[in-house]
Chains A and B, each alone.
Chain A
Amino acid sequence: MNKDGDLLHTVTADNISDSRKRLGKFMVWGTALFCVMLALLQTMYQAGSIEIGFETWRPTLYSYMLWATALCAAQVIVNGEKGKRTLFVLPAALFVVSLVIFPLLFALYISFTDWNLASPNGPQPNGWNNLVQMWNDSFYWNALTNMVYYVLAVSVEYVIAFGLALLLNAQIRARKFFRVVFLLPLMLSPVAVSWMIGKSMLEVRFGPISRIIRDLGGEPTFFGDPEIARFMIMAMDAWTFIPFMMIMLLAGLQALPSEILEASKVDGASGWQSFKEIIFPLMMPVSVTAIVIRIIFKLKLADIIINVTSGGPGGATDSVTSFIFREYRDRSNVGYGTLLAIVYLVLIVIFVTLFLKLVSRWMERPA
């Protein structure tokens, strides 16, 4: 038995022969070559360069799976017991690569084509045309501008959520009941919210809110004016997702060390002073996390808009996602729609990275 090396994790000693190692390497490189060759031939066949090829890409997919299987098996063949450890992770890693990296690369390719499902020619690369079109697309820029407003609304949502979390953290009557009640909007689908509130309660003629306004002598309008319409969308979205921020902040509040709060009381700090000097700074990491996650949710805002206003009036409530939805669903404009989505993804990554960088100094609790 081998007495050197990693004795803690090695159960059996491996005396792997050179021929076995060669076999393992041959399996990996052989199947990889086979897969690459098949992919190349299929690409050439699809491009019309050669006559022989398969009708679909399925054989290429099978060869990729063969390579992945060979790669996993080779770990054990080449490395023995050590390879088995790799085998615990490798299939999962390959799975992620297959389902994330490949589709992303495919989407990147599609976004530089003029693929319209109604076009008889299928996807044809069109260089930078989609980017130029995006640059000149007033609907996209309008939607991006709206997103700025929508994201800014998160700050108001945060204040309300923090207030509610403080209330629910306090010693109030029926605290558990209120915690459940305040969570209810989050349990509703945004589509249900769209219909229950946007299309029913706010219905301008029969909706109960409209009736109350009319009874009070006013003339209700919820989605006729651009600013009011945008505000109503923000309000419905906030109503749904404030509980999400609230529950995160509540969890943060409950995890605060009670000794510090008690010490501040002993030192004679007022409620406001405790909040300002102790609770708020200590809650910073939780707050930033809640805000970042909420912003990411917000950037995907679409369902309420699609159901209630379709982006109107005149694009005042349009979000990037609802606009992309129209490009895809109503116009089958796959190439351009994918480019918009990819650009939006890049913008989100840059925005969130910068935002996290900006707030990183508040992310760690003060010592």
Chain B
Amino acid sequence: MKVDLYNYIKAAQKMNRRQVLKGSAAIGAVAMMPKTALAGGHGNVRAEILKIPGVGAGSPTDSDWQKVGEMCLGATKDNVSEGEFEGVELTFMGLNNQNLHNFLFRGFLKPWEAYTGAKINWIDLAQADYNARLQQSIATGTADFDIIEMGAPFEGDVLGKGMASEMPEWVKEQIDMDDYVDYLKAPVGTWGGKTYRVSIDGDCHTFAYRKDYFGEGSITGRDVPTTWQEINEVSKDLIGKEDPLTGLPAHGYLDPLKGWGGFGFYFLENRASAYAKHPNSPAWLFEPDTMKPMVNNPAWVQAIQDVMDLIDAGAYPTDQINADPGTTAFQQFLAGTGSMLMWWGDVGSNARTSDTSVVGEVAGFGVNPASERVYNAKAGAWEETRNEAPNMAYIGWGVYVMATVEGDEKKKKAAWSAAAHLGGKDLSLWASAYPSGFQPYRNSHFQYDEWEEAGYDRAYVEDYLGSNADSYNHPNAAIEPRIPGIFQYYSVAEDELAKGYAGQYGSAQETADAIAAAWEKITDQIGRDGQIAVYKASLGM
């Protein structure tokens, strides 16, 4: 679970004294249990680990991570005998964001190291250094690590170049891959029909709105919008009205109009996915057979036009042209400017826990809005049917084993065993329930009874995580292409969009055409044939 989400739920729910005592008693009981009982109590392990350290008992520490790691070793013990990896050394490259990620992995893997006899060396990277370090390793074909924590968008770069090791069958069974939410199942994590990824996280954009703007007697006097058409209508209607919370000018949807190192493009995608992601094809950014950009087809042009319409109408706050996604979420929406936003999970959690947030009591959540019509790229025509396509922006973190372990069966098994331990079904439940930097990503994570039993407020968990679950398992989820250089495409699109939004292009179509032309150049530079093959593979075609 993301730290903010944990704090959010903690702050949002009213923990009574009995619940706290229940948690404390459980910790005491667990602490008194002998090690064998801990490991052997597999049936109750999920309930037991959720009591470490106990909801409301402060943030977990290294000893908690080790305890959880120890208690979740059962699956490892089924496949690996004690001391089997004696003498094996592995190098793990991952992040150190918020003192989580690798810090947790260290704790989780310490009991695994003690049991198997393997030793793990760690490469900790800041988020800002991560992409450059990985890109460098990819470009030079040199991997000085055996296991990597990596985002799925890089799969094209890494898996497409044969730099990773294929997942053995026993790992698939150990981590119960069938339990993954739909969008994380193949083709995500696979390449050319082979599986490579142990998922440890899920990502998607969800819709956040201000409850006090909607409903009877509110300033809009209407229900929460569920389509982009309605969102634009509401945003225009709000011009000249006053925000009920702050008394400042009221605003509707907050589009970020400034680039964000490529990540800003996800936010145009949120609008475009409803228009462009037709259920009849997984492709919505490029035509799979030619890599011809679809970004200048009528669907994408409509999405850009929607934004331009709101600019022309003066519906955005002042200086919105200089607002990146970080600004729209944390300086605008949470601070009471604007009433609708798309963002990852943490904006909702921050609504309650951030000192600068004023919308904690009035924030509501939903899935990515739909469109009243959808563009069928295959037929080249609009269809007047409602279409919903949640945007799985960034897809989420996974653990991958590099091809460096090939040729040494003992080392390979050790690396995969470590990865499987981190992506284990029970351990991942704990990671999704406590601060870890990761979101729930398995269907079993959404069994709200378990959360309730652990001491969470069911209504909050259901309301907030429900929007994620609905997005993850959506039959028409829009998955980004895992092709080499995907952020190059996004970055150059941001530059062109900035020009379009500043009125330097004659129309939305011209802006979209400029993006398409820039994308064609990148495709040619990286290699069109290779990109086509990789794109098709990433879509499972």
Chain A residues packing against B (C-beta within 8 Å): 114, 116-122, 133, 139, 203-206, 219-224, 226, 229, 308-316, 326, 329-333
Contacts and interface: CB of A to CB of B under 8 A. Distances in A.
Contact of A117 (B136, B317, B331, B521): B136
A313 B135 contact: no
B319 A222 contact: yes
Interface in B110-168: 132, 135-136, 138-139, 157, 161
Contact of B491 (A220, A313, A326): A326
B525 interface: yes
Nearest to A315: B499
B290 interface: no
A220 B135 CA distance: 41
Contact of A312 (B157, B258, B503): B258
Given A205-B335, A330-B491, A313 B317 contact: no
Interface stretch (B10-18, B67-75, B320-328, B391-399): B320-328
A212 B258 CA distance: 26
A332 B135 contact: yes
Interface in B314-365: 317-322, 324, 331-332, 335, 337
B390 interface: no
Contact of A114 (B260, B525, B530): B525
A311 B320 CA distance: 14
Contacts of A311: 495, 498
B331 A203 contact: yes
A312 B319 CA distance: 11
Interface in B286-329: 317-322, 324
Interface stretch (B40-48, B196-204, B482-490): B482-490
Contacts, number: 119
Nearest to B524: A114
Contacts of B92: none
Contacts of A116: 485, 488, 522, 525-526
B485 A312 contact: no
A111 B501 CA distance: 32
A229 to B, nearest CB: 7
21 contacts: A114-B525, A116-B485, A116-B488, A118-B138, A118-B484, A118-B488, A120-B527, A204-B319, A205-B337, A221-B319, A223-B322, A224-B318, A224-B322, A310-B498, A311-B495, A312-B258, A313-B498, A326-B495, A331-B485, A331-B492, A333-B488
Contacts of B161: 120
Interface string B483-521: 011011001100100110111100000000000000001
B319 A226 contact: no
Given A312-B502, A326-B495, A120 B322 contact: no
A314 B504 contact: yes
A118 B521 CA distance: 13
Given A313-B498, A315-B498, A331-B488, A121 B527 contact: yes
B319 A309 contact: no
A314 B527 CA distance: 29
A205 B138 contact: no
B481 interface: no
Nearest to A314: B502
Contact of A329 (B261, B332, B492): B261
A332 B135 CA distance: 8
Q: How large is the interface on B (under 10, 10 to 19, 20 to 34, 35 or more residues)?
A: 35 or more
Given A116-B526, A120-B530, A331-B492, A204 B135 contact: no
A224 B259 contact: no
A122 B136 CA distance: 11
A139 B488 contact: no
A226 B139 contact: no
B282 interface: no
A17 B492 CA distance: 67
Shortest beta-carbon contacts, A-B, top 8? A314-B502, A118-B485, A330-B491, A223-B322, A118-B484, A117-B139, A331-B488, A224-B319
A330 B318 contact: no
A120 B98 CA distance: 34
B432 to A, nearest CB: 31
B321 A224 contact: yes
B262 interface: yes
A223 B318 CA distance: 9
A119 B527 contact: yes
B499 to A, nearest CB: 5
B318 A309 contact: no
Contacts of B488: 116, 118, 330-333
B331 A119 contact: no
Contacts of B485: 116-119, 331-332
A111 B321 CA distance: 34
B318 A313 contact: no
B502 A316 contact: yes
Contacts of B261: 329-330
Given A119-B526, A313-B498, A333-B488, A224 B320 contact: yes
Contacts of B262: 330
A120 B485 CA distance: 11
Interface string B196-233: 00000000000000000000000000000000000000
